[in-house]
Amino acid sequence: MERISKERFDQIFTGWGGHKILVLGDVMLDEYLWGNVSRISPEAPVPVVEIAEESVKLGGAANVALNVKSLGDAPILVGVVGDDRNSERMMSALNEAQIKSDGIFVDNPRMTTIKTRVIAHNQQVVRADRENTEEIPDKLIEKIMEFVKKKIPDIHAIIISDYGKGMITHTLLHELIELCKQNNVFISVDPKDTHFMNYKRVSLITPNHQEAGFVYGKRIKDESILKEVGWGLLEKLKVEALLVTRGEKGMSLFEANRTLTHFPTRAREVYDVTGAGDTVISAFTCAVAAEAKYKEAALISNHAAGLVVGEVGAAQVNKEELMEELENFINSAAYTH
């Protein structure tokens, strides 16, 4: 069973916050069109959504940075946008969130990634994506690595947020992992299945169970296959830890010291899983920056995920909410020390 003593909890959260965490990956905008449905279109058997409100949120790696900031640490966001109207909206959203944009690079031929979701009665009706997924050019990789090298002496961890939109290339990954190893910097990855075998020797990788099963070549249907897939990937990738997120079944943490720990889900109600993976990797990495052990970081991130899936859209949890959630858990009658 997942356990953390009150004393250890206090120790971790006393040292929590203020750490510089570099978030590198595919930045995007999440656009929401909110409305109501009262009729079906006469043109086709589809609902007609009467839009009442519009909103834009930071998505992808930008949402990871927002999670890191909400949890009390200082994100350094590194990403690529196009030279277009949506990049201006991105900069405006970053400014509003008080996240610096000096690590955002412009790739002129590219369009800024935007996902538009139409929501009616708190249910997503449809999503439309506008994006380029070509890999960024080598010249841009050089500029990005120059920026990261300047920041590396002051950062406590790096999060790679890979959505497969072209930012994370083999060359960039190789240079970044080598840099982290040389500087003893913790590096966590929210993976894209097509890049999986390029993440060798990172500290932590956080696939969901579908991604893990697909990459290994076996669909995870039971605990036996989960163990085969988890240990197999851990060995192939030579990572320190593999955290498999399993939806309503919680999470499973495989560690290089051959320990496996299961964490049952903490979600009370699930409205929307959008951005839940961002919250998991952000909370885990912030916990490690606060000197939590991997099992403790997994427990903390499991509770953080349980909070955000109860809201519609990509949500964030702040340090105070997370502390309250964990304190309630530790003090609950069902909890055993």
Catalytic annotation, residues: 278
Cα separation, 77 vs 22, whole angstroms? 6
Contacts of 270 (CB under 8 A, 6+ apart): 248, 309, 310
Q: Which of 117, 130, 93, 121 is nearest to 32 (CA)?
A: 117
- At a CB cut-off of 8 Å and minimum separation 6, what does 227 contact? 260
3-state secondary structure of 319: helix
Do 118 and 126 touch, CB atoms closer than 8 A? Answer: yes
Q: 3-state DSSP call for residue 106?
A: strand
155, 20 Cβ separation under 8 angstroms = yes
User: What is the secondary structure of 190-236 as a DSSP string?
Assistant: E--GGGGGG-TT-SEE--BHHHHHHHHTS---SHHHHHHHHHHHHHH
Q: Do the strands 204-205 and 186-190 form a parallel or antiparallel pair, or are they unpaired?
A: parallel
Give the three-state DSSP class for 72: coil
Burial of 199 (0-12, 13-18, 19+ CB in 10 A): buried
Handedness of CA 58, 69, 200, 276 (dihedral sign): negative
User: CA end-to-end span of the chain, whole Å?
Assistant: 10
d(CA 34, CA 46): 17
